[in-house]
Structure 1
């Protein structure tokens, strides 16, 4: 195809003005399955959060987006900005395929501020005769009207010894040195993280991060390396881990290892790999640090499981999670919603409690936040249900003290994905939960953030669930607070 015809085809397919106008027409989101405090688009497929950064007094949140359909094709970047995670500017198309380098998709990457400019780095995807050619490219954010200006290719292809599954750059700075961390696959089909260092004459391969995970999946996606006062943390999403009874139960996982990285040898001495989320719908998170806070956004969804999401019939798929603030303690990440999310609360909480009972119920609002502590008393097994009584559906969380196992059971729902997830959770005398329930997206934080779980439920009718607590013996005490929540406030100005 001649260059002129090639350019014209892309200009027609990815007309930013037309796509942005269609997005504006889609807000406010009206369908009963559209969430109000989770970032979603009125059409198309959303996946990995990208380029999350702080610039000019705002958080900039980019994300993978196919505005042309609900397939994993035509990957672009969308963009929103917010100062407080509650008030947002409307999303716009930010970055899209436009030349031979990224004609098959603008894949994931990161954002950072350089000389007062918000820079982006991303993977260009190009395929010819089913042969993939990845390249890493810089771009500069020009504002929501113009989008991102594409700049130079800084890494032209994968290094020797690795396959073309080489992508998702993020920036890492330490001891005055600047690196890019990329997810990679060796020719032996083992997942790895690779470092490139910025030198005077360009980006040079520094080498592979030497972890203690020599055989840990066939590909590592979306790596981020942070150096925190408590230690170094490598976040990544390994593909190809075999499911076990209490871990690695999704198709693909997302987690981290924490320890100490020696930049001279690139040896990383670390503890166990921990999953960041135990729910059904969480993958490819992006983590970044700003003014001493470590924040995370995840993709609420799961690749290659699109048939489990009934919103596809309505023309859209997937969400981003709420933001989470992370803390590293003794080699373990604890997570919680940031303080800003309290602004979603509508007025004073409804306080509820019970004692010496084996069952308890509390009606929930259409969108709710619940803080709950259950003292076990005589009970050995406790169940917490989102009970959609009118439709006969139920989402159950159950905890068994003897085995210290939490179970997520979605078998009681009629639409969407089902299944069961189990994980270990230490709870000595009481079970503590913080539950955020949106229209379909639910996020739960256990034992003050020691674990988290994200999942979707799609009730067959537009009804509010009741929170039902039951046990196999008398509970010591139930204490709870429930807030009705509002949604994001979108401003087109």
Structure 2
């Protein structure tokens, strides 16, 4: 790998999964198999532009210490001539199955999509079995991809992202008694309000509720909602898989930040539903790290819970193993700007609680230095939280805003890596994810308020994981 500039090297992540080189996008095939978590991902190793995709592969026994494995799928056959696109994994007896989309460009502006199967006995080397679904059903275009499979009893089920011939997005449900022969059950989203294409569907049950995650490309913004060009979210309700009928509530976003797409989940041995997302967006290629040969990363793992009528997301307890010694501070009055001893760094976890009190606004600046800072700000008048990265550094801009929150207390858990921020608000009621590219040396943390507020207990940990055990380790693949 070519030598990086000092600035770009400082943007390589320490505790997020990222590519050894080239472009990373969708997480694929999330699964617990043979004593390890497996995370596959879309990877174009020869370029930082979207192109001929393979499946990169990481594995971990504990969601903390990851090792890079050889690519699981690379384009070899006519049915995947232009890329092994997104899909999922399924444990089938002693074997691990991958179902994925084989992408074919036909040379006349048209495309063909094949849903393909590969099988492994060791979770590392996969034997391709070819297409198991060679065409979309009548009434749908070749924008037909991203199979997510699961098993219930003796039946296999699969959801597929799809587009009607009227160019409306939806999700189709398939069923089978074998993973190599599929039959359409029906359309899970027949009432159209999902843009022109639904990508990356994921169906599961959580705390008695049926959940469908998907990415409706082309959905229009609604006030502060769906501000990203490509939103990502979920509907929840009651599904009848025998008839593909799904009574559900309104679509809601999974993440209020700038850089979140293509989430996928897995069930772990303890029964937790764990999600990873791509910390990027489709067609976003000119990230500041491109000149140094890499682009994008994945989010931290998140444990999902359904309660109080919505999805809550929290980092798993295992991530505490990444913490260095704690720096703790007790209660402080806050009126103006406040810096606390020992709170400085480029990679850290920060927990705090703020009582806005009489303040019209209050919050935290992180990765601050010179004119640069990334701002987390509570607006008391509207009871909303804003992530403001207009001064974050190279290539970053814009503001994202939460829906209304409680006004009495604001609990924040903030993870900052070398070029990202993830904010878990009020125990995971809302989440903000964004890439940031601060200048070297921007490591200060400061609290602020306009008016009298109270900063309750603050806890801070440097995330000083060793490079040889970090996800960002540069491994030749």
8 Å contact from structure 1 (residues 380, 400) kept in 2: yes
Report the equivalent of 1:14.
none
1:305: Cα distance to partner?
2.2
Report the equivalent of 2:203.
225
1:178: Cα distance to partner?
1.5
Give the TM-score normalised by the residue count of structure 2: 0.92
8 Å contact from structure 1 (residues 49, 62) kept in 2: yes
8 Å contact from structure 1 (residues 358, 475) kept in 2: no
Report the equivalent of 1:427.
406
Is there any run of 5+ residues in structure 2 with no aligned partner, and where? none
Distance 2:92 2:121 in 1: 14
1:136 alignment partner, one of 115, 124, 127: 115
Distance 1:157 1:264 in 2: 22
Distance 2:463 2:53 in 1: 33
Matches within 5 A, 1:257-272: 257-272=235-250
1:335 aligns with 2:313: yes
Distance 1:64 1:471 in 2: 42
8 Å contact from structure 1 (residues 259, 331) kept in 2: no
Distance of aligned partners of 1:366 and 1:215 in 2 relative to their CA distance in 1, 3 Å threshold: closer
8 Å contact from structure 1 (residues 60, 80) kept in 2: yes
Distance of aligned partners of 1:51 and 1:398 in 2 relative to their CA distance in 1, 3 Å threshold: same
Report the equivalent of 2:354.
374
**SS of residue matched to 2:26:** strand
Matches within 5 A, 1:74-93: 74-93=52-71
1:262: Cα distance to partner?
1.6
Give the TM-score normalised by the residue count of structure 1: 0.89
Q: Deviations over 1:149-196 (max 9, x none)?
A: 211311011111101000000013346422111000011111100011
Q: Deviations over 1:432-473 (max 9, x none)?
A: 11000111111110011001011111112x224222221121
Distance 2:110 2:367 in 1: 49
8 Å contact from structure 1 (residues 415, 459) kept in 2: yes
Report the equivalent of 1:299.
278
1:161 aligns with 2:139: yes
**SS of residue matched to 2:216:** strand
Distance of aligned partners of 1:356 and 1:52 in 2 relative to their CA distance in 1, 3 Å threshold: closer
Is there any run of 5+ residues in structure 1 with no aligned partner, and where? 1-21
**SS of residue matched to 1:101:** helix
8 Å contact from structure 2 (residues 334, 448) kept in 1: no
Matches within 5 A, 1:195-344: 195-199=173-177, 202-210=181-189, 213-291=191-269, 292-307=271-286, 309-344=287-322
Q: How many residues align?
A: 463
8 Å contact from structure 2 (residues 331, 454) kept in 1: no
Report the equivalent of 1:119.
97
Distance 1:422 1:366 in 2: 24
Report the equivalent of 1:105.
83
113-122 or 378-387, larger mean C-alpha shift: 378-387
Report the equivalent of 1:5.
none
